[in-house]
Amino acid sequence: MKRIYYYYIALIGFFGLFILLMLWNTLLVPSTRLPIALVLIFVISPMLIPLRGFLNGNLKSCTWMCYISLFYFTHGISEAYTTPAELYYGLLEVFFSLLLCTGAGFYVYKAEKIE
């Protein structure tokens, strides 16, 4: 498979995860104990740190995005296991984080293999 296809898979995973987390924390199941803005800062901001380089296809940023997606994978597993009402949201988070991690990881792997 060509290297650019892995990048597209990573982009689908990133934007799917971003949209899911935004909807989950604002419209679907908003927090009753914390302000929504504070929740969004803590949930979304780790994804935004390497975003500029990730969108440009920078290999270091793709690697960092891969590492960051593992935290969302862990969060999705814990939410799916502990909160039965949010099972499908947690499983979607796991799915998109795996897309992001595998897509970005193989994109970097193929680039290193070429060079």
- Binning pLDDT at 50, 70 and 90, where does residue 115 land? low
The whole-number average pLDDT for the span 44-49 is: 94
Q: In this predicted model, what pLDDT tens digit does every residue of 59-69 receive, in sequence order?
A: 999 999 999 99
Pick the closest to residue 21 from 50, 41, 49, 51 (CA basis): 41
Quote the distance between the C-alpha of residue 24 and its chain's center.
Answer: 14
- Domain of 55 in residue numbering reads as 3-114
The whole-number average pLDDT for the span 28-34 is: 90
Distance CA 108, CA 76 (A): 24
Quote the distance between the C-alpha of residue 33 and its chain's center.
Answer: 24
Contact in structure between 43 and 25 (CB atoms under 8 Å): yes
The whole-number average pLDDT for the span 6-30 is: 95
**pLDDT for the residue 86:** 92
Structurally, the chain folds into a number of domains equal to 1
